[in-house]
Amino acid sequence: MNKIFLIIQREYLTRVRKKTFIIMTIVGPILMAALMIAPVIFAKMDQEEHKVIAVVDSSKIFQNVIPETEFLKFEYLEGVSLEQAKATFKSSDFYAVLYIPHIITYAPKSVQLYSNKQPSLGVKMHISNAIEKELERLKLKTYDIKDLDAILKAVKTNISIQTIKWTDDGKEEKTSTEIAMAVGIISGILIYFFIFMYGAQVMRGVIEEKTNRIVEVIVSSVKPFQLMMGKIIGVAMVGLTQFLLWVILTFAIFTVAKSFIQEDSSKIIQSQIQTESVFSSSGLQKGQPVVTDKTEMINDAFSSLKSINFGVMLATFLFYFIGGYLLYASLFGAIGSAVDNEADTQQFMMPVTIPLILAIVMLQSIIQNPEGQLAFWFSIIPFTSPIVMMVRIPFGVPYYEIILSMVLLVLTFIGTTWMAAKIYRTGILMYGKKISYSELWKWLRYRN
C-alpha cells in the first residue's frame, strides 16, 4: 500500500507542476465564463450593426407595414422595378432587396430577398412574421368583421406552462424542464470530456514509460498492478484538483461579470421588446406587456433553479466522474501497456469508446423520456451510466435506481481493473510485437 501511495504522489506532483496543467487550470474557467458571457457580447455586437433593406412591393399592400427596429430599417422604392433595384444594388448602401410580388395573396412562397451576403435567420423571421400577420389581417377583413383589430387583440393569447413538482413531504415547488435539461446535459458532457481527457493521460503515460524503458526499472521495485493503480488514482486526483479549481475560478469570474451580463441582457431584452411591440396592432405602450413577460420569465428561471438539488448533483457528479474515470482509465491503461506507440491504439480504442459515444448520441431520446426503458437501462449499464444518469438526475430519479447504478459501476470497475491488471502485467514489458485480440485473450487466461 505504501508503494501505491508513493506512485500516486509521484504521478500527482509531476502532473500538477507541469506548465500545461497550470495554463489549463487558468484558461479553463475563462473559457467556461466566456461561454456564458460571449453570447451576450456577440448578440449586442450583432444588434448594433445597422441594416437598411430596400423593398420593392409590386402588390402595393405592404407599404410601411414591416416594422422597423433600432438597427433594421426598410426603404420602400416607389416606381422602381425589381430589375432596376438589382442593377443599382452594388452602388447602394442597402443590405438586401426585398421583393413582394403581386401574387403574394395566393402564392405566399413567392417573396424573395436578394443580397450579396447570406441574410441572417433573425432578419428572415422578422420579415416573414410581419408579412404573415398583415396577410392574416387582410384575409380576415374579407369576412367583413367589424373592429377587427380589437378582436385580434382580444383573441391573442400567449401560453406559458408552469411545471409544479410535489415533493415527498407534500410541498409544491416550481420547476423548469428546460433548466433541468440544460443542467443534465452539461453534467453528462463534462463527464464525457473528463473521462476521455484524463483516461487518455493514463494511456499516454503508460506508453511513454514503456517506450523509454523506465517501466523496467520501476517494476523491479513494485508490482505491475500497484504501478497501474497508483497511476490511475494519481491522475484521478489531478483531475479532481483541476475540476475543483475550475469550479472556484469560474464562479469567481462569473460573479465579477454578473453586473456586465445583466446590463447587456437588459439592453438586448429592450431591443427585443421594441421589435415585438411593433407587431401589436393594438396601440399599447411600447413593450409594456412584454417587459412583464420578460421579467417574469427571468424570475421563474431563477426560482426554478432552486428546485434542483445541487448538493445531490455535485455529490453524484463526483461519484460518476470518479467511477466512470476509474472504469475507463483501467481499460486505457491496459491498451497503453499492450502497444508500443499511440498510433497502434486505434484498433483497441474503438470498442472501448463506443459505449461513451453511444451515450452521447442517445441523450436527445433520453431527455425526451427520462423515465422510459431506454433511459433506465442506459443509466444502469456501467459503461454508459456515468453520462446518462447525470442527465436523468435533474428530472428526478428514484434512489434505488441510483444506488443500483452506483453498485454496478463499482463492481464493473473492480472487474475491469482485474482484467486490465492481467493485460498490464504481461504487456508492460513486451516490445516490438503487434498485438491482436486473440493475444489479449491469452494474456487474460495466464495464471499468476
- For residues 84 and 42, is the Cβ–Cβ distance under 8 A? no
48-155 belongs to CATH 3.40.190.10? yes
pLDDT of residue 168: 63
CA distance 358 to 337: 26
pLDDT of residue 291: 42
Please provide the DSSP assignment of 313-360 as one string. Answer: HHHHHHHHHHHHHHHHHHHHHHHHHH-SSGGGGHHHHHHHHHHHHHHH
- For residues 189 and 317, is the Cβ–Cβ distance under 8 A? no
Q: Residue 66 gets which letter from DSSP?
A: S
Helices 399-427, 385-392: axis angle to 10 degrees equals: 160
- In 3-state terms, what secondary structure has residue 97? strand
Q: Could you give phi then psi for residue 101, rounded to 5 degrees? A: -75, 165
Burial (0-12, 13-18, 19+ Cβ within 10 Å), 330: buried
pLDDT of residue 259: 58
pLDDT of residue 244: 83
pLDDT of residue 273: 46
In 3D space, the residue among 310, 280, 302 whose CA is nearest the CA of residue 390 turns out to be 310
In 3D space, the residue among 26, 42, 78 whose CA is nearest the CA of residue 252 turns out to be 26
pLDDT of residue 292: 44
For residue 357, the number of C-alpha atoms closer than 13 Å in the C-beta half-sphere is 6
Burial (0-12, 13-18, 19+ Cβ within 10 Å), 131: buried
C-alpha cell at 309: 438539488
User: Which residue spans of the chain are classified as CATH 3.40.190.10?
Assistant: 48-155
pLDDT of residue 170: 62
Whether this model's pTM surpasses 0.85: no
**Beta sheet of 72-76, edge-to-edge order:** 72-76, 51-57, 96-100, 112-114
CA distance 29 to 31: 5
- For 46-65, what is the HEC assignment? HHCCCEEEEEEECCCCCCCC
CA distance 80 to 57: 9
Listed as own residue / partner, the contacts of 305-310 with beta carbons closer than 8 Å and 24 or more positions apart are: 305/176, 305/179, 306/173, 306/174, 307/165, 307/173, 307/174, 307/175, 307/176, 308/179, 308/180, 308/183, 308/394
Digit-by-digit pLDDT tens for the chain (448 residues) are 677 888 888 878 888 888 878 887 887 777 766 666 666 566 555 555 678 888 888 888 888 888 888 778 888 888 888 888 888 888 888 888 888 888 887 777 888 888 887 777 778 888 888 888 888 888 877 777 767 677 767 777 665 555 666 666 666 656 667 777 877 888 888 888 888 888 888 888 777 777 777 766 676 677 777 777 888 888 888 888 887 888 788 777 767 765 555 555 454 445 444 444 444 443 433 334 444 444 555 555 555 555 566 777 888 888 998 889 889 988 888 888 777 777 677 778 888 889 989 998 888 888 888 888 888 999 999 999 999 998 888 887 888 999 999 999 999 988 888 888 788 777 776 766 677 777 778 777 776 5
- In 3-state terms, what secondary structure has residue 377? helix
C-alpha cell at 358: 453511444
CA distance 55 to 77: 6
CA distance 434 to 440: 11
Grid look-up 503508460 returns 206
Residue type, 406: M
